[in-house]
Amino acid sequence: MIQKPRGTQDYLGDEFAKRREVENKFVEFYLSRGYQGLDTPIFEQKNLFVRSVGEGTDIVSKELFDLEKKSEEVYSLRPEFTAGVIRSLIELGIKSMPLPVKVISCGPCFRYERPQKGRKRQFNQLNIELVGKKSPEIDAGVIVDAFEFLQTLGVEKSLVKINSLGSSETRKKYSEIIKNYLNENKGNLCELCGERLDKNPLRVLDCKNPACQEIIKKSPSILDSLTPDEKEYFDKVVNYLESKKIPCGIDASLVRGLDYYTGVIFEIITEGDESRMNSIGGGGRYDDLIGELDGPDMPAFGMGIGFERVLDSLDKIN
């Protein structure tokens, strides 16, 4: 008997209705806050993801679903939304649009990884992007909106883990610092982190291996590499969140798995869950990406919410 592909799921009846209800609430909530909807293809030129997400990331090197080649172009199923959204906005003429441009998207994404709880090969994301303006209030505001949206669904006990990668120059400087530190402890790193060390040393900080975690705990903090202006900006975001009563904790080992991030990054996790394995959303600032994709130089901040992870949280509550 032919069965569904590994890492996918079928939804019937009540499950189908529950998913549509969450999606409808997402659209209604964000349209009321001045966002507009944007649908993009579920596949793009592979080079878009290589240039934006990063050739040295696990997503590009191991997890992309490449489509069978029928022409000179190589296409891949989208592993996340931001790259395709930015490609679309550039193509649609963002230079002439009133700023900020605020868009939402929702739908399936695809990553070839080992299926486990909270991780499917086909999964769905609720995506939010704010392009063209930059301030601590904007960064914090996107996070506050996400908290309020999750509360409308009934997900109330959550908190923010937040960090800053600084500018691309700061990130590059810190990458060398952390690489030198990790090389001193290379013999105690897991095999995967040994591979990451030369290609993308920041990804080592996200490893869940207990032996690697012990090394990571003693590693130099990226916050010590921030310039005074970057540190002031980060502090303002944290202070704004605290003024809005958003539970917030600084996590200097938080790096995210995408190379385009610069500045403030964050994840939303269930309260009491010290691991980030079950985070239900996250994102950050990516001020260089639009220019790197041949668009105008514009700042941007965005996030994705894991659709299935939200539903799992709601099931635990109910």
Q: Any idea where the domains of the chain sit in the sequence?
A: 14-157+274-317
- pLDDT computed for residue 108 by the predictor: 97
Neighbours of 91 (CB within 10 A): 11
Phi and psi, residue 289, nearest 5°: -65, -45
- Quote the CA–CA distance of 10 and 2 in Å, as a whole number: 14
- pLDDT computed for residue 59 by the predictor: 85
CA angle 31, 309, 6 (to 5 degrees): 120
- pLDDT computed for residue 188 by the predictor: 87
Question: Token match 């963002």: residue?
Answer: 94
Question: Token match 């303006």: residue?
Answer: 133
pTM of the model: 0.92
- pLDDT computed for residue 93 by the predictor: 97
- Residue 80: helix, strand or coil by DSSP? coil
Residue 185, CA distances (Å) to 115, 188, 190, 212, 239 in order: 31, 6, 11, 9, 36
Rama region for 294: left / alpha / beta (φ>0; ψ in -120 to 50; rest): left
Q: What is the dihedral of CA 178, 55, 303, 4, to 10 degrees?
A: -120
Q: Which residues contact 5 (CB under 8 A, 6 or more apart)?
A: 121, 122
Contact 283, 121 (CB under 8 A): no
- pLDDT computed for residue 157 by the predictor: 79
- Quote the CA–CA distance of 318 and 316 in Å, as a whole number: 6
- pLDDT computed for residue 271 by the predictor: 63
Tens-digit pLDDT string for the chain (318 aa): 999 999 999 999 999 999 999 999 999 999 999 999 999 999 999 999 999 998 877 788 789 999 988 888 999 999 999 999 999 999 999 999 999 999 999 999 999 988 776 679 999 999 999 999 999 999 999 999 999 999 999 987 789 999 999 999 999 899 999 999 999 988 888 988 888 888 788 888 888 888 898 898 899 999 999 999 999 999 999 999 999 999 999 999 898 878 899 999 999 997 654 444 478 999 999 999 999 999 999 999 999 999 999 998 887 766
What homologous superfamily does CATH list for 14-157+274-317? Bira Bifunctional Protein; Domain 2 (3.30.930.10)
- pLDDT computed for residue 276 by the predictor: 44
Neighbours of 19 (CB within 10 A): 15
Query: What single DSSP character describes residue 20?
Result: H
